[in-house]
A and B are shown apart, each in its own frame.
Chain A
Amino acid sequence: MNDFEIMTMLITSTFILMSYSILYRENVLFKLIENIMVGATIGHAIVMGIYQIRDLAIIRIIKGMQTGDPINILYIIPVILGIVLYLRFSKKYRDISRIPLALMLGVGLALSIRGLIFTNIIGQVKGAITPLTSIQSIIFLFGLVCVLLYFTYEKRVSTIAGPLPKIGRYFLMLTMGAYVAYTLLSRISTLSGTLNTLFVTPAWYLIPVAFLLILVDLILKRREPQ
């Protein structure tokens, strides 16, 4: 391990310990790391955004001006629309900023709807129509019918369906449980990953330092007049 790698490891571990210090109580170090994280993320996003404008539009516009290609020159329109978005900060011209916003929403919706029909309607219906050859497929179909009945609010249907809508509710609860369990799994993966970073030499040397700081803080707090 070279000096740079050791330094990187120590800085990373310090940041991790600073983040975990919230478990003790809210403190300056936690606030500091919180701000560093937000600042670094936004800073990186801004730089990437500038690169995107350059690569997707500016290069094309310059190329278009050099060659006289009208299609490339037209890329000036999205750049202008992007600038117009910032007019929302002006009281006088705020309404104009709605034009690019509406355009963005419209294009986004149009793109989604085109694909959603294939993916979430046709694809899912095709997937649901499977031969009932296994217990899994039978349970799947039964669950599907029950959940659909649960969301059918027609009174006559509810009367005929009997207990099925209630069973559908249990299926939904099972699904929610799976979601929660997966979320827990996700968080534990993150925790084990961070601990892996911490429990490596020389990073773990910082752990006793952190505990020492907490101890000092506790002593100082006790000495404070009530």
Chain B
Amino acid sequence: MQLPIKIEDTTMNFYNEIEDLKPGDVVVIGTGMLSSTYLELYPQYVVLTEHVLRKEGVKIIIVSHTVDAVIFINKALVELKVFERKTYGKDFVNLGFIAGEEAAIAGLSKNLHALITVDYYKNMLSSLPMLENINDARDYTMVIDVTSTSDVQYWLNQAGGPYGTKIGVAASAVKATEAASYYSAGQIFGLLVSLQGAAQYEILINKPGYAVKSLSAQSAVLLFYIALLVYGNITYFRSRRAKKI
């Protein structure tokens, strides 16, 4: 049984911003995915990358902020058949993992070519035509950060604030409360929250998949949990009253 899924404004704004991308625009898809948050973030990563891939002429820079994320990025690239749909070095590049957390994001924002010389596949950056005119955060049309770590803060600190780069965040449920304050302050243009954000996005791009399927099960478990909470409280108050009598 499929429960109805309501599209929230945070997701809709994300979709609209990507929908407005034009040929020649540059999108950085960064991720701080961890093994522990893979099940929440991977569906978001896949669905967002899929949407960006559908936009003709948009250039994609893929980067990983955690060592774990490298594995999941490779999985997503295979699943979405990116190498068959786009030309490597011309339409997209994979920079792989760059150590240094905020320092790495600062480097990506200030001077990409000064930070690293080779991409994930050991190609010299100077040999990739796509990166010829891309140097710093001013050249990035938007940054999409799929994360459960503090990358959102780092991207805002290093790119959003100083260069005015647009930032969209797809976060794990735990991280979403922090990211929500940036969304309500207008510092990020969109926010996908956990599996339900991915499910809403899957519906928006008309590609229902893992998240849509899993969301009904998740909702059922949550309802069960609420029922347990109510039952526990009723029992507690009953036992307290019984003690008083």
Given contacts A116-B157, A118-B161, A179-B177, contact A188 B103 (CB under 8 A): no
Contact A48 B217 (CB under 8 A): no
Whether B97 sits at the interface, judged by CB under 8 Å, is yes
Excluding A119-B160, A123-B182, A192-B218, 8 further A-B contacts by CB distance (< 8 Å) are: A52-B99, A56-B99, A115-B154, A119-B153, A119-B182, A123-B156, A186-B40, A186-B173
Which range holds the interface residue count of chain B?
A: 35 or more
Residues of chain B within 8 A (CB-CB) of A193 are 38-40, 214
Complexed CA–CA distance, A49 and B103 (Å): 16
Say yes or no: B102 contacts A111, CB within 8 Å. yes
Partner of A48, one of B37, B38, B97: B97
- Is residue A148 contacting chain B, with contact meaning CB distance below 8 A? no
The residue on A at minimum CB distance from B222 is: A188
A192-B117 in contact (CB<8A): no
Interface assignment of B108: CB less than 8 Å from any CB of chain A: no
B-to-A contact residues, CB < 8 Å: 35-40, 67-68, 70-71, 97-99, 102-103, 106, 116-118, 122, 153-154, 156-158, 160-162, 172-174, 176-177, 181-182, 184-187, 193-195, 210, 213-214, 217-218, 221-222, 225
Chain B residues, Cβ within 8 Å of A192? 39, 195, 214, 217-218, 221
A55 with B39, Cβ < 8 A, contacts A111-B158, A116-B157, A127-B186 known: no
Q: What is the interface of chain A mostly: helix, strand, loop, or mixed?
A: helix
**Chain B residue with minimal CB distance to A176?**
B177
Number of interface residues of A (CB under 8 A): 46
B residues near A178, Cβ cutoff 8 Å: 177
Q: Which residues of B contact A186 (CB under 8 A)?
A: 37, 40, 172-174, 194
Q: Contact at B173–A189, with CB atoms within 8 Å?
A: yes
Per-residue CB contact flags for chain A residues 128-166 toward chain B (1 = under 8 Å, else 0) read: 100000000000100000000000000000000000000
Residues of A within 8 A of B210 (CB): 196
